[in-house]
Chain A
Amino acid sequence: MASVAARSFVFRQQMNTRRFDFASCLNIKSFYSSYSANPKEKSPENYTQYHEVSSDNWKFVERLKPPTVVPSFPKNGSCFSDWTPPPDTPPNLPYFVKRTKNFMVPVYLNFEAVRNQRKITMVKHIEGDIWALEKAIKSHLEEVTKRQVVSQVHEVAMYIKFRGDYVLHVKKWLLNAGF
């Protein structure tokens, strides 16, 4: 009982002293905006030593990194896929269909969110006379599929949409046309 009282008395004394002794309690942590802004970290003896082995071997690291920008395709040799490179000269037509940045033909299959899902073939990156292009592709599709084809020409955004899945037909036509 007495020891408990003594201990509690000592504790209270310590508490009393501690209550007024802020200086020892305060250990402000500084958070610097960046690693290099911290002055403590600049001295080199805190860290292990290093030495440069060879700067010639950096090429082995660089070739593992992916390219930041789309690299150009190899000019010679054939591809095992059915991809053909874009031609060097444009065809002599009143319209032009530009390849995407990955050198692909810009024909896409979209699905319209109607009750029974509707397939839409979209041709993008069109420049020039869009109506002439639409007429040409439409007549070709009607000839090939032997049925009427519904299309939409968006003059502001410069794309054409065909109702139905004609992606392969349109791509083939564009490649034959020389785009």
Chain B
Amino acid sequence: MATKIINKTVTEFSLRITRCFFVPSKTIQTNATLFQERLETSITNVEEQLPTTIRPPLPIIHSRKLAFPPKFKAPRQVWVSNMDTVEEEKLGLIDLHPEVFAERPRVDIIHENVRWQQLYRHVSYANTKMRYEVRGGGKKPRQQKGSGRSRHGSIRSPIWRGGGIVHGPRSPTPYFYMLGFNTRLNGLRSTLSAKLAQDDLHIVDSLDIPTDDPSYLEKLVEERGWGPAVLFVDDNDIMPLNITAASDSHGHYNLMPVYGLNVYSMLKHHTLVLTLAAVERLEERLLFHLNRNDAASAGQKYRLDSV
């Protein structure tokens, strides 16, 4: 009965927060048959077959309106790059909200988030037997009095060799807990700020690449000096076919929708690449939570002791 309750609690909440926080690296869905067709007719030589990109006069992206305009903190300016060509072409310059991207990084909050992400889904299956579970030990070994030896009731009591363990691990033990809403929110803000401050954050217009050749992505990342591991984040969870196919064979290039953005993934990947749509969505959501009228109800649905 206890096991059933534990499993129900873990799966219930893990399902609810799967959408927000836990996204396996290859969640992105594509049409399987379409992908197969495309593989058969894919471009083999990258340099010859790439279409030439014709662009209007730069800068294409001029400015961005910030929600909840910051009063005294200056917005951070970042370049918007392209993904059409291997070489980086700067399409424009945009503002990023300082309350999201220029917050003082709280290392302790980042640590708390990483610890939570690793622990909340952890179930320990270690088990030891207690005295009533160890085989034998039902009979009193010898008479209470008369033998001159110490008195015992069972050969499997914890003081005996081979006896039961008193406070040992009991399988399955869940380590599920919910970190506070604001701690998770500030974890995202701190990590995004740290990424931007350390030149590990790049903005692109979209994730459309001209070919589905995996070597295109390799060359692009190498050319631009992006880290070995890159996390591409877009607003939509159905990604363009080309980048899905190109990144499929690489375990270190991962695609993620905005709702899956989490501190652990951002730290695991060296470079974070956000699309413009992802930046808009991210800022809108985080700024809403920072300025909402009913802050108490933000974490209501994750509270364990209330319905």
On A, residues with C-beta under 8 Å from B are 66-70, 86, 90, 96, 101, 127, 156-158
A-B contact pairs, 26 of them (CB 8 A): A66-B293, A66-B294, A67-B293, A68-B288, A68-B292, A68-B293, A68-B294, A69-B288, A69-B291, A69-B292, A69-B293, A70-B291, A70-B292, A70-B293, A86-B71, A90-B72, A96-B72, A101-B290, A101-B291, A127-B104, A156-B106, A156-B107, A156-B108, A157-B106, A157-B108, A158-B104
Q: How far is the CA of A70 from the CA of B106 in the complex (A)?
A: 25
Tally of contact residues, B, Cβ under 8 A? 12
Q: Which residue of A lies closest to B107 (CB)?
A: A156
B residues contacting A by CB (< 8 A) are 71-72, 104, 106-108, 288, 290-294
Instruction: With CB as the reference atom, state the residue of chain A lying closest to B99.
Output: A98
**Cα-based distance from A67 to B71 in the complex (angstroms):** 22
Contacts of A69 in B (CB 8 A): 288, 291-293
Nearest CB of chain A from residue B9's CB, rounded to whole Å:
23
Q: Given contacts A69-B292, A70-B293, list 8 more A-B pairs with CB under 8 A.
A: A66-B294, A67-B293, A68-B293, A69-B291, A86-B71, A101-B291, A156-B106, A157-B108
**B292 — which chain A residues lie within 8 A by C-beta?**
68-70
Kindly state the separation between the CA atoms of A33 and B106 in the bound complex, as whole angstroms: 42
- CB-CB under 8 A from B293, the residues of chain A are 66-70
Which applies to chain A's interface (DSSP): helix, strand, loop or mixed? loop
User: What are the residues of chain A within 8 A of B106 when measuring CB–CB?
Assistant: 156-157
Cα A41 to Cα B294 with chains together (Å): 35
Q: Which residue of B lies closest to A101 (CB)?
A: B291
B72 to chain A: which residues have CB within 8 Å?
90, 96
Q: Which residues of B contact A67 (CB under 8 A)?
A: 293
Residues of A within 8 A of B107 (CB): 156
* Nearest B residue (CB) for A90: B72
- Give me the 3 closest cross-chain CB pairs, A-B, nearest first: A90-B72, A69-B291, A101-B291
Residues of B within 8 A of A101 (CB): 290-291
Chain B neighbourhood of A66, CB < 8 A? 293-294
For B294, list chain A residues within 8 Å (CB).
66, 68
Q: In the complex, how many angstroms separate the beta carbon of A136 from the nearest chain B beta carbon? A: 19
Set of chain A residues within 8 Å of B288, measured between Cβ atoms: 68-69
- A67 and B294 alpha carbons, distance in the complex (Å): 9
In the bound complex, CA of A68 to CA of B288 (Å) = 9
Separation of A66 and B294 alpha carbons in the complex (Å): 9
> Smallest distance from the beta carbon of A131 to chain B beta carbons, Å?
16
Which residues from chain B contact A156 at a C-beta distance below 8 Å? Answer: 106-108
Q: How far is the CA of A96 from the CA of B292 in the complex (A)?
A: 23
The distance in angstroms between the C-alpha atoms of A67 and B293, with both chains bound, is 7
In the complex, which residues of chain A have a beta carbon less than 8 angstroms from the beta carbon of B291? Answer: 69-70, 101
Q: How far is the CB of B55 from chain A (nearest CB, A)?
A: 38
In the assembly, what is the distance between CA of A69 and CA of B104, in Å? 24
A134 to B11, CA, bound (A): 48
**Residues of A contacting B108 in the complex (Cβ-Cβ under 8 angstroms):** 156-157
The interface centre, meaning the residue of A66, A70, A157 with most chain B CB atoms within 10 A of its CB, is A70
Give B285 Cβ to nearest chain A Cβ, in Å: 12
Minimal beta-carbon separation of B81 from chain A (angstroms): 31
- Identify the closest chain B residue to A67 (Cβ): B293
Looking at the assembled complex, report how far the CB atom of B186 sits from the nearest CB atom of chain A, in whole angstroms. 10
Residues of B within 8 A of A86 (CB): 71
Q: Smallest Cβ distance from B267 to chain A, in angstroms?
A: 18
Closest A residue by C-beta to B288: A69
* Nearest-Cβ distance from residue A177 to partner chain B, whole angstroms: 15
**Which of A66, A96, A156 is most buried by chain B, counting CB atoms within 10 A of its CB?**
A156
Query: A134–B139 Cα gap in the complex (Å)?
Result: 71
* Min C-beta distance of A91 to chain B, whole Å: 10
Q: Give A87 Cβ to nearest chain B Cβ, in Å.
A: 10
A69 to chain B: closest residue by CB: B291
Residues on B with C-beta less than 8 A from A96 are: 72
Q: Least Cβ distance of A141 to chain B in Å?
A: 26
Query: Closest CB-CB distance, B191 to chain A, in whole Å?
Result: 16
CA distance A164 to B306 in the complex (A): 35
